[in-house]
């Protein structure tokens, strides 16, 4: 039994609860030594129960698990009822797709690949001797689903390899082209080996980034200190945070990573639950090593499971509050992810300003934002996810993309056809990064409506005699299929999420505006494997009626799924989405044509969106921000307030 009276229903499982779940599994005869835990997370209670909860109420605590039998490949979904101290359900999964790849498998793959005689012969033909085997880097990728008969019904990865000249050498500078091992994870063997005729030599030029390999550091970059002598403006009570009228709860799952629950401002609800529900990274190179690369980094690996331990003064700057995340390893044993989530405040320039000579009024206020963030390293790429809350009621999500690009060997004297050259004999395939944010909206209450708006020039006429008038159109998105929409930069298309049951100060419905970037959508052809599997990336905006079973943009098990799951399936019933409990899903990303500046480590690229109050308040709620001049800001020794 687990004490639950003092818990909030959305508090993540703690280490004791995870240990208790492991103990329940140990006592269950169905759980053999072959079982691996691919997912262990809080089973979030039903929304009505969460909203009805009051401090001190007893809470039913339960864990949701996905188990993988590493010998048979069987997949089981389990509910562990901690309050009752029992396994409440044990269901064998029959759906298409596989659970995510786990670290236990990841570390076995190199041994499987390097032990295979055919693979050894293939790399030997490319100049890799037996003495080099220990330094060869084997990268396992999710296998995708291309309908190959021999792959159906198996748990697979595809593995490519990179030569390294030493223990610290950057393998991505030395791709071994034309060799791909398809590994059967349950059978523990290479199922098929693709071995093209040897045509492209392995690039040997080192391009390293460990500290000893870098040029001497700059000496003229002066120190920059961020200080808050009076302490932070936020307060933290367990997983609950308050800051400048904002309140929310921090959550974390193995798949999504950071989750924000019950986000409110000035005592009014805005979002019930916000997270990154999925990612996909499709590549545009049709050759052996690359055509199949389209990693679903959340559903196939787990962004939360791959979260970094953040470093003070480096990943996060200023007066920091860290959240340590209780987690489970592949065997269900409790482990603590130290400093996985970082929270701090940042100055953000001018918030509002006006100089009025007529009244001798000169006022400036500085903006500030609360930053809640985490970083995940998924193979070669590193992704930062930063939620920003602003003093004026704005919400922003920014994804930061860095790390190492995928590389392709290029024959001497040849140009790389499928992307950009990043060094001699080394190309970077053109690719796309798509993220999907799942926003369970609750603007001033549970019943919300989404409207779409555009700016259009009004034709010349009696009501536009000077040709200067333009209109803002508005239409209600009333059914799910109506609401699978694309951004349009030409018309400035945007969306409002409003509560039409409430009247604001000017007689309208209070709302939040979703402002997105009209970036390219999925460019793979209709009918391609990635197009079937990553349907969520074919539209910028989707709106669905809330269904607790519809959690992820690409479905529950995207790993090796044949396609059609997730958002395209969710909207098939074309449910009503007007004046009801809705989820807004936003797909956004970056289309990347590689260049020399991206190597060996890619400078950060940014992608994201904003939610801005639109008739939600009666005026600018940041008018009470103090005129805070910073005495540490100075020019030639004189104090100043700099815009």
Question: Smallest Cα–Cα separation from 378: which of 317, 433, 436?
Answer: 433
Question: Smallest Cα–Cα separation from 486: which of 451, 528, 521, 536?
Answer: 521
What amino acid positions are annotated as catalytic residues? 297, 381
CA 31-32-34 angle, 5° bins? 120
Q: How confident is the model at residue 638 (pLDDT cuts 50, 70, 90)?
A: very low
Residue-wise pLDDT tens digits, 352-408: 999 988 998 899 999 999 999 999 999 999 999 999 999 999 999 999 999 999 999
Residue-wise pLDDT tens digits, 457-495: 999 999 999 999 999 999 999 999 999 999 999 999 999
Instruction: Confirm whether 514 is domain-assigned.
Output: yes
State how far the alpha carbon of 27 is from the alpha carbons of 35, 272, 311, in Å: 13, 36, 39
Q: How confident is the model at residue 577 (pLDDT cuts 50, 70, 90)?
A: very high
Residue-wise pLDDT tens digits, 427-450: 999 999 999 999 999 999 999 999
As a residue count, the chain comes to 643
Instruction: Confirm whether 122 is domain-assigned.
Output: yes
Q: Cβ distance 593 to 565 under 8 Å?
A: no
- Residue 636 pLDDT greater than 90, yes or no: no
CA 614-615-618 angle, 5° bins? 130
φ and ψ at residue 163, rounded to 5 degrees:
-75, 145
State how far the alpha carbon of 220 is from the alpha carbons of 210, 212, 292, 636, 637, in Å: 22, 20, 46, 19, 21
Q: What is the pLDDT of residue 463?
A: 97
Q: How confident is the model at residue 2 (pLDDT cuts 50, 70, 90)?
A: very low
Last residue of a domain, one of 57, 92, 127: 92
CATH number for 559:
2.70.98.20
Q: How confident is the model at residue 640 (pLDDT cuts 50, 70, 90)?
A: very low
Last residue of a domain, one of 33, 59, 92: 92
Say whether both 84 and 165 belong to one domain: no
Say whether both 187 and 241 belong to one domain: no
Instruction: Confirm whether 98 is domain-assigned.
Output: no
Instruction: Round to whole Å and give the CA distance between 62 and 90.
Output: 14
Q: Into how many domains does the chain fold?
A: 3
Residue-wise pLDDT tens digits, 589-605: 999 999 999 999 999 99
Residue-wise pLDDT tens digits, 227-237: 899 999 999 99
Q: Cβ distance 362 to 356 under 8 Å?
A: yes
Beta-sheet strand order (sheet of 137-142): 137-142, 156-162, 179-184, 189-195
- Residue 522 pLDDT greater than 60, yes or no: yes
Instruction: Confirm whether 635 is domain-assigned.
Output: no
Residue whose tokens read 């790849």: 101
Instruction: Confirm whether 386 is domain-assigned.
Output: yes
Say whether both 144 and 45 belong to one domain: no
Say whether both 64 and 180 belong to one domain: no
Say whether both 113 and 80 belong to one domain: no
- Residue 13 pLDDT greater than 70, yes or no: yes
Instruction: Confirm whether 222 is domain-assigned.
Output: no
Instruction: Round to whole Å and give the CA distance between 609 and 571.
Output: 23
CATH number for 170:
3.10.450.40
Q: What is the pLDDT of residue 313?
A: 67
Q: How confident is the model at residue 257 (pLDDT cuts 50, 70, 90)?
A: very high
Share of the chain above pLDDT 90, in %: 91
Q: How confident is the model at residue 30 (pLDDT cuts 50, 70, 90)?
A: very high
Say whether both 397 and 504 belong to one domain: yes
- Lowest-pLDDT range of 121-135, 399-413, 415-429, 618-632: 618-632
CA 360-361-366 angle, 5° bins? 150
Instruction: Confirm whether 630 is domain-assigned.
Output: no
Say whether both 452 and 592 belong to one domain: yes
Say whether both 557 and 423 belong to one domain: yes
Q: 12-34 burial, b if ≥16 CB within 10 A, otherwise e?
A: bbbeebbbbbbebbeeeeebeee
Say whether both 350 and 438 belong to one domain: yes
Last residue of a domain, one of 72, 92, 112: 92
Q: What is the pLDDT of residue 310?
A: 87
Sign of the Cα torsion 43, 45, 51, 54 reads negative
φ and ψ at residue 536, rounded to 5 degrees:
-60, -25
Q: DSSP letter string over 188-224?
A: TEEEEEEEPPS-SPPP------SGGGSPPPPSS----
Rounded to an integer, the average pLDDT of 236-249 is: 98
Say whether both 310 and 332 belong to one domain: yes
Say whether both 56 and 113 belong to one domain: no
Domain membership of residue 484 as a residue range: 234-614
Q: Rounded mean pLDDT of the chain?
A: 95
Written as six digits, the tokens of 211 are 């500290």
Q: How confident is the model at residue 544 (pLDDT cuts 50, 70, 90)?
A: very high
Instruction: Confirm whether 631 is domain-assigned.
Output: no
State how far the alpha carbon of 568 is from the alpha carbons of 204, 221, 255, 433, 516, in Å: 45, 51, 21, 19, 21
Tell me the pairing of strands 381-390 and 361-378.
antiparallel
Whether the full predicted model's pTM is greater than 0.75, yes or no, is: yes
Say whether both 84 and 111 belong to one domain: no
């Amino acid at each position: 039994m687990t004490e639950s009276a003092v818990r909030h229903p959305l508090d993540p499982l703690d280490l004791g609860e995870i240990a208790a779940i492991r103990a329940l599994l140990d006592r269950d005869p169905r759980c053999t030594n072959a079982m691996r835990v691919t997912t262990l997370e809080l089973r979030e209670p039903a929304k009505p129960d969460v909203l009805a909860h009051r401090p001190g109420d007893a809470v039913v605590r339960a864990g949701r698990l996905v188990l993988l039998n590493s010998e048979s490949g069987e997949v089981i979904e389990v509910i562990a009822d901690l309050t009752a101290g029992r396994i409440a359900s044990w269901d064998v999964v029959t759906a298409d797709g596989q659970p995510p790849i786990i670290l236990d498998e990841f570390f076995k793959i190199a041994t499987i690949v390097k032990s295979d005689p055919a693979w050894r012969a293939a790399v030997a033909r490319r100049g890799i001797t037996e003495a080099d085997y220990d330094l060869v880097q084997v990268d396992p990728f999710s296998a995708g689903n291309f309908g190959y008969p021999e792959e159906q019904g198996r748990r697979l990865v595809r593995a490519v390899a990179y030569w390294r000249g030493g223990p610290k050498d950057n393998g991505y500078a030395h791709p071994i082209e034309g060799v791909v091992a398809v590994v059967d994870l349950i059978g523990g063997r290479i199922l098929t080996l693709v071995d093209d005729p040897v045509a492209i030599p392995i690039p040997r030029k080192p391009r390293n980034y460990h500290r000893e390999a870098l040029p001497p550091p700059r000496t003229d970059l002066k120190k920059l200190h961020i200080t808050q002598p009076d302490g932070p403006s936020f307060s933290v009570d367990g997983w609950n945070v308050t800051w400048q009228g904002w309140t929310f709860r921090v959550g974390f799952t193995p798949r999504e990573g950071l989750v924000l629950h019950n986000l409110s401002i000035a005592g009014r609800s805005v979002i019930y639950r916000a997270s990154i529900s999925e990612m996909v990274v499709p590549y545009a190179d049709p050759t052996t090593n690359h055509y199949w690369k389209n990693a679903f980094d959340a559903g196939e690996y787990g962004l939360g499971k791959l979260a970094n331990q953040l470093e003070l003064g480096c990943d996060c700057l200023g007066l920091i509050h860290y959240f340590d995340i209780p987690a489970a390893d592949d065997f269900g044993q409790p482990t603590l992810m130290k400093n996985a989530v970082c929270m701090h405040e940042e100055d953000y320039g001018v918030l509002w300003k006006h100089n009025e000579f007529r009244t001798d009024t000169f006022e400036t206020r500085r903006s500030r934002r609360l930053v809640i963030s985490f970083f995940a390293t998924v193979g070669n790429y590193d992704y930062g996810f930063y939620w920003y809350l602003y003093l004026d009621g704005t919400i922003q999500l920014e994804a930061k993309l860095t790390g190492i690009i995928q590389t392709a060997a290029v024959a001497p004297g040849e140009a790389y056809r499928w992307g950009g050259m990043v060094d001699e004999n080394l190309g970077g395939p053109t690719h796309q990064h798509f993220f999907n944010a799942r926003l369970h909206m609750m603007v001033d209450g549970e019943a919300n409506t989404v409207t779409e708006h555009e700016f259009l020039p009004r034709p010349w006429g009696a009501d536009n005699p000077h040709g200067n008038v333009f209109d803002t159109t508005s239409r209600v998105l009333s059914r799910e299929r109506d609401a699978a929409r694309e951004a349009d930069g030409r018309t400035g298309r945007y969306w409002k999420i409003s509560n039409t049951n409430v009247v604001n100060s000017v007689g309208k419905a209070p709302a939040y505006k979703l402002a997105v970037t009209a970036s390219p959508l999925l460019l793979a052809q209709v009918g391609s494997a990635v197009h079937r599997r990553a349907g969520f990336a074919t539209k910028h905006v989707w709106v669905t009626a809330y269904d607790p079973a519809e959690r992820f943009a690409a479905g529950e098990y995207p790993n090796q799924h044949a396609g059609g799951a997730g958002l395209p399936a969710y909207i098939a019933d074309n449910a009503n989405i007007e004046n009801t409990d809705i989820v807004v899903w936003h797909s956004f990303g970056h289309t990347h044509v590689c260049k020399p500046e991206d190597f060996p480590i890619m400078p950060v690229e940014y992608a994201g969106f904003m939610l801005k109050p639109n008739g939600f308040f009666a005026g600018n709620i940041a008018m009470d921000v103090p005129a805070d001049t910073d005495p540490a800001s100075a020019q030639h020794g004189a104090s100043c307030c700099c815009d």
